[in-house]
Amino acid sequence: MKKLLLIIILSTTISTLASAQVTPPVLNGDTVTYLGHRLYTNHRITLLYGSKPSRDFAFAYGSVLNSQLSASYCNQTVLIKEFKKIDGKYYASGQLEKVTGVLNSKNCLIDIQAAIDWKEIQVE
């Protein structure tokens, strides 16, 4: 009886976990759809706060991957220019609209799935 109960619990747990998986972003032409959010070229999105404890961004980068944006970029607007697929992930490539200063890059790369999951961006 205990074995039967254990099998039922395990099968229920496995089926629940399998159904909870989220589908990855889908690119269709110039539009990426993820969790009901639609991003398209010439679309403006807003950077919220980064998901790191310091409020720096974990999934929004400067013009190159591994150059994560600092918290000073929160509330900036990004104009999406194109979508890129890098290592199986979709990224929105665009320009920060109100960045000033010679040393500040205006280019931006955003990991779409992670940024939406961790609420680093607001898609309007």
More confident residue, 104 or 32: 32
Q: In 10 A of CB 49, how many CB atoms?
A: 16
For position 65, what pLDDT does the model report?
79
User: pTM of the full predicted structure?
Assistant: 0.77
Region 63-82: mean pLDDT is 90
Which string of b and e fits 14-41 if b means at least 16 CB within 10 Å?
eeeeeeeeeeebebeeeebebeeeebeb
pLDDT above 70: residue 117: yes
Q: For residue 55, which amino acid is it? A: R
Q: How confident is the model over 8-65, as pLDDT tens digits?
A: 666 665 655 454 567 899 999 999 999 999 999 999 999 999 999 999 999 999 877 7
pLDDT confidence of residue 19: 47
Confirm if 108 and 61 have CB atoms less than 8 A apart. yes
- Tokens 């190159």: give the residue: 64
Residues 6+ apart with CB under 8 A from 70: 50, 56, 57
| Per-domain boundaries in the chain | 24-123
Are 73 and 96 contacting, i.e. CB atoms less than 8 angstroms apart? yes
Mean pLDDT of 104-121: 91
What is the distance between the alpha carbons of residues 122 and 45, in angstroms, rounded to a whole number?
Answer: 6
Q: What's the average model confidence in pLDDT over 98-108? A: 70
